[in-house]
């Protein structure tokens, strides 16, 4: 597992429907009805190589969401062809890609090295491990939880924050909407890769165009 897989995905042709989120490549296809979504999901499930790959399909009233992996560093060259096949299948079944609807929400729990307690979060949430520093919902419905390792010399002012991973071309609009709703910018030094915002009470959230925007933020997490 490395950055090469998702970098190759971003550079590939024929994957414009897909957004590379923290969890990996994801696409949302709009459909006329729930029944159409179910039929599209069945057709996508028949794509050669998808079965057993760990992909996640979620059907809602007017959309089908397809996640190729649960972690960005698990993207491989083989996923490029899968993405192309899925997009072609969606077009055949009246599915319209909607990059603006693609997002992923994560909860980051900050702790110093000797206080990292990911086992607790897995147990209390009923989550499963994907990597040493995270916990994922086995059903794929809930937010991923990951541990942010803080320097022992760094004061801890906020123990948790939320990360919102979106398509690179929609990150600024998400930030603008948050500001219009009363939020404020805490740190924009990594923009346009990411912004740290806060609500009126000081609770923090990172809006991240990374990894879809390629350049990783350097100051993500609570200062």
User: pTM score, two decimals?
Assistant: 0.88
The tens-digit pLDDT sequence of the chain (223 residues) is 568 899 999 999 999 999 999 999 999 999 999 999 999 999 999 999 999 999 999 999 999 999 999 999 999 999 999 999 999 999 999 999 999 999 999 999 988 887 888 999 999 899 999 999 999 999 998 899 998 877 777 776 557 889 999 999 999 999 999 999 999 999 999 999 999 999 998 889 999 999 998 665 554 433 3
Q: Given the structure tokens 């809930």, which residue do they identify?
A: 142
Domain boundaries 3-101, corresponding CATH code: 3.30.1360.20
Residue whose C-alpha is closest to residue 220's, from 196, 203, 191: 196
Got the DSSP string for 202-216? --EEEEE-TTTTSSP
Peptide bond into 192 cis (omega under 30): yes
Contact in structure between 93 and 122 (CB atoms under 8 Å): no
- 103-208, CATH topology level: 2,3-Dihydroxybiphenyl 1,2-Dioxygenase; domain 1 (3.10.180)
* DSSP string of 111-179, one letter each residue: E-GGG--HHHHHHHHT-B-SSTTEEB-TTS-SPEEEEEE--TTS--S-SEEEEEEE-GGGHHHHHHHHH
For the chain, give every domain's residue range: 3-101, 103-208
């Amino acid at each position: 597992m490395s950055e090469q897989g998702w970098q190759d995905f971003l550079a590939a042709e024929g994957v414009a429907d897909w957004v590379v989120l923290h969890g990996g490549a994801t696409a949302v296809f709009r459909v006329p009805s729930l029944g159409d979504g179910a039929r599209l999901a069945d057709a996508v499930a028949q794509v050669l190589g998808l079965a057993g790959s760990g992909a996640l399909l979620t059907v809602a009233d007017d959309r089908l969401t397809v996640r190729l992996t649960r972690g960005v560093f698990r993207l491989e060259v083989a996923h490029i062809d899968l993405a192309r096949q899925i997009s072609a299948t969606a077009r055949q079944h009246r599915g319209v890609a909607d990059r603006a609807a693609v997002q992923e929400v994560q909860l980051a729990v900050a702790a110093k090295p000797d206080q990292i307690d990911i086992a607790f979060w897995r147990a209390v949430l009923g989550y499963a491990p994907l990597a040493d520093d995270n916990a994922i919902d086995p059903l794929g419905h809930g937010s991923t939880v990951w541990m942010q390792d803080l320097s022992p010399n760094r004061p801890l002012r906020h123990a948790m924050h939320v990360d919102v991973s979106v398509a690179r071309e929609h990150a600024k609009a998400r930030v603008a909407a948050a500001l219009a709703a009363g939020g404020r910018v805490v740190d924009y030094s990594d923009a346009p890769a990411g912004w740290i915002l806060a609500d009126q009470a000081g609770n923090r959230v990172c809006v991240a165009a990374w990894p879809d925007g390629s350049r990783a933020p350097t100051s993500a997490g609570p200062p």
